[in-house]
Amino acid sequence: MKLFFMHRYFTYIIVFLFLVACDNNTPEEVRFTEQQIESLHLSGTQVLEPQTDSIIHINLTPFLGKREFDFGNIVKEVKIVPLETTKNSLLDGIYKVITTDEYIYIMDNFKGKSLIIFTKEGKFIKRLSHGQGPGELQRLYDIDYDFQTNELIAYQHSFFLFFDKEGNFLRQERLPINFDNFISLDNGYILRTAPVQGNTHLDDKEGYTFLFTDKIFTLKSVAVYQPKDIKAMSAHTYLYKNDSLITLAGRYSDSIYKYDAKKNKLYTEFVLDYDKKLPKKYLYGENFRVFQEVTKNNDYYFNIGEYFETFSQNVFFLWNNYINLQTIVYRDKKTGNMIGGTSAMLNLEEVPAFNFPIGVDKNYFVSVYNPYINRYEKLKNSKLISEADKEKIKQFKDDDNPMLVYFTLKEF
């Protein structure tokens, strides 16, 4: 059976429109104190030039257009985690999923972005409250988990809020830089910024996209210069962490960078090559509507910076507004083989109809599954799904939260 993964597409369109509205408004100027500016130690900040001696060029042209691919044949393992449904745990569009050995942290669209915690088995723990009090969320931009200190970090303008793994508030820190996204490393943070974010106090470092700091926000390095603001769509994040795999995706640059935290070195790992690329002049248009009009009426493809990676596979995404579909391409790291397209062929008696991946957990891709009541009858004889997971599907109700699907792929 052929499945079109449109749920993810429409979810991201909503995200895009929200982010574009934010991106087209210059953030209010934050007045940084002299002490904050001095703490950055800008005189010692280095420019990190991406090394290019081992670039892999990925030819995505064969996967363009409306294309089916045999996805079901490469699925190796499927684990299902139902997210407990209560009055306080109802999810409103999932932006980000972080999985640890004990908990699952989800940022969703509740009240304009929220943070909710489940156990690894999907039992609801808590949703962090909104407000202006200590530990309450307001204008949440991003979340990450510090695996060294076992702290959950929520980024809101312009503070980091730190929680323990159960979501109990610990402290907050005022930030000396404006940015959109971040990831926490053992020895610091990587921040993703944009030219319009009011970082004039960074002087000649202001135009760099990626900022590398230590844990006390000394600005150690900067990388990937982007002096002009892009008026096209925005991805939610361009920073990807999976255990020791640290990846930075360039916004509309078709480049994917690998960061070695121990050596403080940046590598251009992949360059995406494909026909019908969107001309760059439309990225810097007067406003988002220029970009939208051109891409809806022309068969252009563009990479907004989405990328995922497990220990065994890479996943690349291209968008096309003309055909109103997203192209996904899986690449096997060992063989270099690729498979992908816009719609997947699945045997629905073996594999549940889950969406494109929205996260990773070591060697698992993480996706979302919205089953309906009679789906159990289709899957009850599946060899890929455990009896325990079949029972979870059997108990599903139409108004329940979606289930998370953790899946691995065979070598192909």
∠ at Cα 264 (35, 227), nearest 5°? 65
Is residue 267 pLDDT above 70, yes or no? yes
Q: Locate 394 and state its tokens.
A: 């059997």
Question: Which parts of 214-322 fold into alpha helices (H)?
Answer: 288-297
Question: What confidence score (pLDDT) does residue 10 get?
Answer: 41
Question: What confidence score (pLDDT) does residue 85 get?
Answer: 96
Contact (CB, 8 A) for 182 and 192: yes
Is residue 14 pLDDT above 50, yes or no? no
Question: What confidence score (pLDDT) does residue 309 get?
Answer: 98
- For 190-223, write each residue's pLDDT tens digit: 999 988 889 999 999 999 999 999 999 999 999 9
Is residue 30 pLDDT above 90, yes or no? no
> How far apart are alpha carbons 386 and 364 in whole angstroms?
16
Q: 322 by DSSP, 3-state: which?
A: coil
Question: What confidence score (pLDDT) does residue 102 get?
Answer: 98
What is the DSSP code string of 255-279? Answer: EEEEEETTTTEEEEEEEEE-SSBPP
Question: What confidence score (pLDDT) does residue 258 get?
Answer: 98
Contact (CB, 8 A) for 293 and 320: no
Question: What confidence score (pLDDT) does residue 18 get?
Answer: 41
Integer angstrom CA distances of residue 335 from 63, 312, 313, 339, 380: 18, 10, 10, 12, 34
Q: How buried is residue 279: exposed, middle or buried, by Cβ count under 10 Å (0-12/13-18/19+)?
A: exposed
Q: How buried is residue 257: exposed, middle or buried, by Cβ count under 10 Å (0-12/13-18/19+)?
A: buried
- Provide the pLDDT confidence category of residue 9 given band limits of 50, 70 and 90: very low
pTM (two decimals): 0.92
Question: Which parts of 104-244 fold into alpha helices (H)?
Answer: none
Cα dihedral sign, 312-320-8-106? positive
Query: Which of 3-7, 112-116, 293-297, 335-339 has the lowest average pLDDT?
Result: 3-7
Strand 245-249 to strand 239-242: parallel, antiparallel, or no bridges (unpaired)?
antiparallel
Is residue 123 pLDDT above 90, yes or no? yes
Is residue 149 pLDDT above 80, yes or no? yes
Question: What confidence score (pLDDT) does residue 234 get?
Answer: 85
Contact (CB, 8 A) for 68 and 339: no
Is residue 6 pLDDT above 90, yes or no? no
Question: What confidence score (pLDDT) does residue 374 get?
Answer: 76
Question: What confidence score (pLDDT) does residue 285 get?
Answer: 82
Strand partners, 408: 77
